[in-house]
Structure 1
Amino acid sequence: MIYAYIRVSTDRQTADNQRFEILKAAANRKVHIDQWVEETVSGTRSVDDRALGNLVLGLKPKDELYITELSRLGRSLMEIMSLLHRCMELDVRVIALKEGYELGNNINSKVLAFAFGLSAEIERQLISQRTKEALDRKKAEGVHIGRPKGRKASKTKLSGKEPAILELRSKKISFSAIARILGVSRQTVSQFITSHNL
């Protein structure tokens, strides 16, 4: 079987570009994608906690897995390597379109996968380091980072639930019970009621 895997990190991103790239490659190779697996989830989440985990469990020898790029599989070097290793052991071909890789159970594939994963991990660490350095510089210059001190968020977990809280309060329900009903902490309920004069 031929599978295609698409992942975006947030609801604001679209999977259309990935789908287009895979369909174009499938048409050029004259193959048909038998099953699409698409999800909106951060690559930092474990493979086993994503739809990708179930997909990998169902792969059989000679199956093919199309992805637009290896970074769609995960964010860490070890996770990408582990996943590719599983596929290679199963004799499943992984086709990463942007990199032009066709990874199977051979030494060239293992070397390429390792090199890509290592470079991606180094790049992420460099970006993280640059961001941290920029924030440190801004702090040293006296620029406040984050929400202004003393300013509260305009929306809270209980925003829009004022009528329900008023009704519960009119029935003399305790703060702790209201917190359990609304799925928040007692302190959150107490602060919300105090700040909104409920």
Structure 2
Amino acid sequence: MLKDNRCKILAYLRASTDKQDVTHQKYEILEYARGNDLRVDQYIEVTISSTKNSKQRRIDELTKKLSPHDTLIVTELSRLGRSTTEVVDLVNTLINQQVRIIIIKQHLDFNRHDLNSKVIVTLFSLFGELERDFISLRTKEALASKKAKGTLQKSQFDVDREKIIELLTLGVSVRKIANLLKYKNHISLNTYINKRKLFDTKL
């Protein structure tokens, strides 16, 4: 396939630490380009962890260089992001900008005007939304768990827990319990009792 002179082809290569992996990616891309009569105009190579931000991974630089009708080639989808959501968002953004995206290992060729590409992108979007929902759910569960644990943090009153329960059962007020156990602040003791649900009592 002959390349439109007005368009350019960029290849993005990223490896976490092993420089040899970038070399291997470049070989794969060269082989693919040769077999499909394509010529890569520029390689953007980076050896960096996927945990780094998009600027450090040169993704921002990549998106700025791509124009409508340009082509982006990568060896696999995981090179483009650090999560499904990030990859999906980037792919959708580029396709909406009329950038063609070729993913060699997954045998994907995203072209906005191609029906199969539209179907795949739609599925990717759903997967992205699903992952966002999972992240939101996990965050809420983690916060709830943290909050629950927070109410049961160790307290200075724990050593006298049994004595406190016994005195409450006998009808002794929280203020008197604090005095008997030599606690200066009966309000803190009352908070402890309520959080531990030791007894339903009032100051």
* Residue 93 (1) aligns with residue 104 (2): no
Alignment of 1:139-178 (within 5 A): none
Alignment of 1:109-128 (within 5 A): 109-113=117-121, 115=123, 118=127
Computed over aligned residues only, the root mean square deviation of the Cα atoms, in angstroms, reads 2.5
Change (3 A) 1:2 1:41: same
Separation in structure 2 between the aligned mates of residue 8 and residue 114 of structure 1, nearest angstrom: 28
Aligned to 2:60: 53
Partner AA of 2:116 in structure 1: N
Change (3 A) 1:43 1:111: farther
* Residue 84 (1) aligns with residue 97 (2): no
For the residue of structure 2 that corresponds to 1:14, the secondary structure is helix
- How big is the shift at 1:74? 1.1
TM-score, length of structure 1 as denominator length: 0.55
* Residue 108 (1) aligns with residue 125 (2): no
Change (3 A) 1:54 1:30: same
Separation in structure 2 between the aligned mates of residue 32 and residue 90 of structure 1, nearest angstrom: 21
TM-score, length of structure 2 as denominator length: 0.53
Q: 1:27 aligns with which of 34, 38, 41?
A: 34
For the residue of structure 2 that corresponds to 1:49, the secondary structure is coil
Change (3 A) 1:104 1:8: same
* Residue 41 (1) aligns with residue 48 (2): yes
- How big is the shift at 1:61? 0.7
Spell out structure 1 runs of 4+ moving beyond 6 A. none
Q: How many residues align?
A: 122
Change (3 A) 1:48 1:114: farther
Instruction: Note if contact 1:2-1:35 (Cα within 8 Å) is conserved in structure 2.
Output: yes
- How big is the shift at 1:111? 3.9
Instruction: Note if contact 1:3-1:34 (Cα within 8 Å) is conserved in structure 2.
Output: yes
Partner AA of 1:62 in structure 2: H
Q: Deviations along 1:11-66, whole A, 9 cap, x unmatched?
A: 46531210111000000111110000000112222323321211111211110001
What are the ranges of 5 or more consecutive residues in structure 2 without an aligned counterpart?
1-7, 135-203
Separation in structure 2 between the aligned mates of residue 51 and residue 64 of structure 1, nearest angstrom: 17
Separation in structure 2 between the aligned mates of residue 46 and residue 113 of structure 1, nearest angstrom: 24
Q: 2:80 aligns with which of 68, 73, 85?
A: 73
- How big is the shift at 1:114? 6.0
Aligned to 1:176: none
Partner AA of 1:29 in structure 2: N
Q: 1:62 aligns with which of 65, 69, 73?
A: 69
Partner AA of 2:75 in structure 1: T
Percent identical = 37
Change (3 A) 1:85 1:36: same
- How big is the shift at 1:105? 1.8
Change (3 A) 1:108 1:16: same
Separation in structure 2 between the aligned mates of residue 41 and residue 35 of structure 1, nearest angstrom: 19
Q: Flag the structure with larger Rg.
A: 2
